[in-house]
Amino acid sequence: MSSSGLIISALALPAFGACLIALTRRSPNVREGITLITGAALLFVVVQLFLAVSAGERPEASLITVVQGIDIAFAVEPLGMLFALVASGLWIVNSIYSIGYMRGNDEPRQTQFYVCFAIAIASTMGIAFSKNLFTLFLFYELLTLSTYPLVTHKGDENARRGGRIYLLILLSTSMLLLLPAIIATWAISGTVEFSVGGILAGKADGAVVGILLALYAFGIGKAALMPVHSWLPNAMVAPTPVSALLHAVAVVKAGVFSILKVVVYIFGIDFLSSSGQNQWLLYIAGATVILSSLIAMTKDNLKARLAYSTVSQLSYIVLGAALATSLGIVGGTMHIAMHAAGKITLFFCAGAIYTAAHKTEISDLSGLGRVMPFTFAAFFIGALSIIGLPPTGGLWSKWYLALGALEADQVIIVAVLMLSSLLNIAYLLPIPLKAFFGTPKKKQKTSPEIKEAPLACLIAIGITSLLCVVLFFFPGPVYDLASMIKLR
Amino acid sequence: MMQHLPALQVVLPLLGAVFCAFMPRGAWAGAIALAVSWIMPVISGLLLAQVLQTGVISYHVGGWPPPMGIEYRVDILSAFILMLVSVMGAILMPYARLSVAKEISARNQPYFYCMYLLCMTGLLGITITGDAFNVFVFLEVSSLSTYVLIALGRDRRGLLAAYQYLVIGSIGATLYVIGIGLLYSITGTLNLVDIASKLQTIGATAPVLIALGFLITGISLKLALFPLHVWLPNAYTYAPSVATIFLAGTATKVAVYLLLRIIFTVYGVGTTSDGTPLSDIFIVLSVLAMFGASIVACFQDNVKRMLAYSSVAQIGYITLGIAILNKTGLTGGISHLFNHAIMKAALFMVIGGIFYRIGSANIANLAGIGRRMPLTMAAFVVAGLSIIGAPGTAGFISKWYLVSGAMEKGWWWLGLLIVASSVLSVVYIGRVVEAAYFQTPNGEAEKATDMPASMLLPTLVLAAACIWFGFDTRLTADIAAQAASYLLGGAQ
Amino acid sequence: MAILTEVIQHYNQWVTIFLMVAGLYIVIARGNMIKTLVGLSLFQTSVYLLYLSPGKILGGTPPILDKAFSVYSNPLPHVLILTAIVVGVATLALGLALVVRINEAYGTIEEDEIVDMDKDGHA
């Protein structure tokens, strides 16, 4: 198959899968079989693209011209390749997990769930491969809209409220800030295409660069930079597989990915660092890292704590972008993959705990580790990866981020990274430790019938926690992709 | 035959209207209306193709050459609007049969179709004619039939709405005639192109500008420019569904067309932008419309009324595009004219279908309807996204042009205001979507099913068009861009 | 003095303006629907004068080609106003018909009373 055909099929496969899933709603087994087959086919296509990209190719595909010479067009480059690889790879794992979770909890409207999920993945592929800001924006909005039904899945007042905040913040930031930023970029430089070295250099100066960067940084609300982060904790009303893949991987990573992409290919790192306008973004990202870690410590609800942890970790990647140094970009890019593996494991565990024991609060988990040892062991590994301790992949991305900060002479940022790791330890490690060594509260004894979660869930947890460890020993492919990004 | 197409475009619906009036049964009249409505797009399609190939068509009514005789003049802009009006009619008529049968008493049904065709005649006539007084006549033909259309429903409040619209509409038309009268006494001609060439030698004298004031005010009443929109919400809310769809899709659009004609063809950009604060006034009023009407829309419980206020807001976008006065902005305005017609018609069709099933358009009664009428509500969601201006829908294209038009002028604040007002539409569309999908159905909604195929298909066609024109802009933005440069280049 | 002559010479315009403003005032100020329509008619009628008076040349005849006459009045405004009169009559007729229907449906033709009735009945 031609390389442009591969790109189109990466988008079309999940979309087509969504149609098939909708058609086979009467038979859950066929429906979920199709989900898995689609996932496998998508991964196959993405791996083919990965091989092509590793070999130095840059596949492109163009659909149609929409406005004023702007096309809906796709081009695969290393950064987008990594993002697509992470999202499509984890989709399969997440589908396995979803089957266990959705059946285990007897969730209603499961067909709608799988359909929306597939559409969300198709949008994610569109974001990853977009060749220009216009295409990126198109799929960015599609991702918001297709995940809205997933957030409100429960359908009660709480879910509706969460969904409302989710939609309003994401849509309004993207329309109020991101869209004007894109049109302004177009007005200034006459193009919105991602190009090596940026397109704004020499066409904009001081204040305009700062304003544009601000419009992008806050307009891409999915990156959850404070103060536009509050949609993320609210989105936790969604079923856990949604939180796991979308709100730890696809949606939020689409945000930070877009920021990286804008910094590298629209501003250009040399232009950005020489303009000096990246300074304030560094401080905002650093503040987000610390503040949201502090907020996470106060949360007793497990998913809420993980959500704030995500907010904090996302800002690592924004930090990497804001450093505007080659090592910073490498670190930020790697962190997309590393954090994805770690955080999805943690969410999987949270969902498994909910399915098996119907517990959502951290204070109720004491002693649960003894009946669910596998789950909590995986949780421990995931936590290590988030903190950035060996033997997990999280170490590497933090390592490069710190190097990048040193390269840019930002000692404060190095300090922020260190402090944040300490905070991570403080809010993550007590959870598995309590579960293994704590004594259950008197009034809610660990009832004997609590067992491990359904097998499908455990398989998924096993895969992702293994992935965390594997990425420690073999970070090569991730690092190679990250270092292949042409910066100038 | 081919050279008489411009006349046929107007005469055919007029004849159809006469026949309809004498039909003893509504169904027969409906069949005539359907046949006529399906021939119309063929004619306008041929005209558009001809204009694109050979340029302006000038047809002399009765063989009298202009400027003495009445001239029918089809240029790119009028061909575009003719196409819009006739296609809307063609899509609407299959939908109309069941809805009209339900909402209008049997005795009145033939008259409804008669009035519909008369209104169509008037709208097409305004668009095609090149004679200023002829415009007035067609304006009154369409207005008078509109008043009747609004009053024909079973809701008595429709009578009051029709009466109020009659008073305001007649004032608007009279103001227009006053303006034409002044121009006539200044230039001694009624042919629009001829007036334009005479005005160039006369220049922007005080009487010429006063005439402009009368013309603009009169037309603004017709197109419901904020704050002259007061007639619109009641008229749209209490009119029979089919009438509302038709009016929302065509009537205000033709009024906008007339505005474009007067400002650009007759007066020319030079006169209107240098001599008067017209552009500033329009920008202020348009922005007020975009925000004021959208905010009011957020608090409406009747969805039809909510959409009516949304129309006022959307008309603000169109007039804003005109007021920006550069090619990009004007392209945005003209393509929004088209795009808004299809998406608002789709939305009103959905509400008409829901009314057909559950007899109410109140948001409270719409609870859970999304699961009972899945295809119908899917059309609502798509068209609603287009109103919001989500990328990949028609509404996004026009907003893109509007914002970039504003930015080309260096008006960043205006670009921001345009996108900010879109967020308000998220609120009012979102309210309906949330009620329809995330609440449990009660009452009539519980046993509702999707609307009948003859109503559903036209709705889905329009909803699909909302997406289609979000990607393929050859028919919308490209033609709009041609029309915009034609208008800005003057009438020559 | 010159201004006064100017003003008096254009008396036809003053009549037009007076009728126009008077008609518009009645439309705005009266709540009775019949009276509103009277005002509307007056407003429309004033336009007839606006068109007709400049078309008339003092001492001019109807445009009949004959060697005996050399000064003609412009016939076009008359034709236009014939059309406008037809339109005006149609508007008035439709307006009155609507008022009849409103009277049947509500039992009154005072606009404010009707608005109040709808507020109570359908709030």
Is 90 exceeded by the pLDDT of residue B268?
A: no
Could you tell me the residue ranges of all domains in chain B? 277-492
Is 90 exceeded by the pLDDT of residue B177?
A: yes
Instruction: Write the CB contacts of A139 (distance below 8 Å, at least 6 apart in sequence).
Output: A123, A124, A126, A127, A130
Q: What is the pLDDT of residues B426-481, one digit of tens each?
A: 889 988 988 888 777 777 777 788 888 888 999 999 999 999 998 888 888 888 88
- To the nearest whole Å, the CA of C102 is away from the closest chain B CA by 6
Rounded Cα gap, residues C57 and C61, in angstroms = 8
Do B393 and B466 contact (CB within 8 A), yes or no?
A: yes
Q: Which of A72, A152, A171 sits opposite B438 (nearest CB)?
A: A152
Do A426 and A434 contact (CB within 8 A), yes or no?
A: no
Q: What is the pLDDT of residues B149-170, one digit of tens each?
A: 999 888 888 899 999 999 999 9
Reported ipTM: 0.91
Please tell me the predicted confidence (pLDDT) of residue B492.
Answer: 37
Interface of B with C (CB under 8 A): 133, 136-137, 140, 144, 147-148, 151, 156-157, 159-160, 162-163, 166-167, 170-171, 173-174, 177-178, 181-182, 184-185, 190
Q: What is the pLDDT of residues C14-67, one digit of tens each?
A: 888 899 999 999 998 888 999 999 999 999 999 998 888 877 777 777 777 777
Q: What is the pLDDT of residues B50-85, one digit of tens each?
A: 988 888 888 888 888 877 788 899 988 999 999 999
DSSP string, B223-264: HT-TTS-THHHHHHHHS-HHHHHHIIIIIHHHHHHHHHIIII
**Other Cβ atoms within 10 Å of C118 Cβ, number:** 16
Instruction: Write the CB contacts of C106 (distance below 8 Å, at least 6 apart in sequence).
Output: B156, C113, C114, C117
**Spacing of C-alpha B52 from chain mean position:** 23
Q: Which residue of B has its CA nearest to A135?
A: B391
Please tell me the predicted confidence (pLDDT) of residue C11.
Answer: 83
Q: List Cα–Cα distances, B391 to A117, B22, B408, B459, C60, in angstroms.
A: 20, 48, 21, 21, 66
Q: What is the mean pLDDT of residues B167-178?
A: 93
- Put simply, whether B453 touches A (Cβ < 8 Å) is no
Q: Which of B416, B426, B434 sits opposite A160 (nearest CB)?
A: B434
Is 90 exceeded by the pLDDT of residue A443?
A: no
Residue C121: which pLDDT band, with cuts at 50, 70 and 90?
low
Rounded Cα gap, residues B156 and C97, in angstroms = 14
Position A483, amino acid: S
Q: What is the pLDDT of residues A151-200, one digit of tens each?
A: 888 878 888 888 888 888 888 888 888 988 888 888 888 888 888 888 88
By CB neighbour count within 10 A (0-12 exposed, 13-18 middle, 19+ buried), where does B468 fall?
middle
Q: Which of A66, A141, A152 sits opposite B473 (nearest CB)?
A: A66
Q: Do chains B and A touch (3 or more CB pairs under 8 A)?
A: yes
Residue C123: which pLDDT band, with cuts at 50, 70 and 90?
very low
Rounded Cα gap, residues A148 and A163, in angstroms = 6
Q: Which of A141, A167, A180 sits opposite B419 (nearest CB)?
A: A180
Please tell me the predicted confidence (pLDDT) of residue B488.
Answer: 85
Please tell me the predicted confidence (pLDDT) of residue B461.
Answer: 93
Residue span of the structural domain in which A169 resides: 3-484
Instruction: Write the CB contacts of C39 (distance below 8 Å, at least 6 apart in sequence).
Output: C22, C23, C24, C25, C26, C27, C30
- To the nearest whole Å, the CA of C97 is away from the closest chain B CA by 10
Q: How many beta-carbon contacts under 8 Å exist across A and B?
A: 74
Q: What is the CATH class of C2-57+73-122?
A: mainly alpha
- Put simply, whether B390 touches A (Cβ < 8 Å) is yes
Number of domains into which chain A is organized = 1
Q: What is the pLDDT of residues A31-75, one digit of tens each?
A: 888 888 888 999 999 888 888 888 888 888 887 777 766 788 888
Q: Record the pTM.
A: 0.86
**Partner residues linked to A130 by β-bridges:** A74
Q: What is the mean pLDDT of residues B238-254?
A: 92
- DSSP for residue A487: -
Is 60 exceeded by the pLDDT of residue A445?
A: no
Q: How many helices (H) and strands (E) does chain A have?
A: 21, 2
Please tell me the predicted confidence (pLDDT) of residue B491.
Answer: 40
Do C83 and B139 contact (CB within 8 A), yes or no?
A: no
**Phi, psi torsion values for C76, nearest 5 degrees:** -60, -45
Check CB contact under 8 Å for C44 and B170: yes
Check CB contact under 8 Å for B163 and C33: yes
Do B166 and B151 contact (CB within 8 A), yes or no?
A: no
**Spacing of C-alpha B162 from chain mean position:** 18
Please tell me the predicted confidence (pLDDT) of residue A441.
Answer: 66
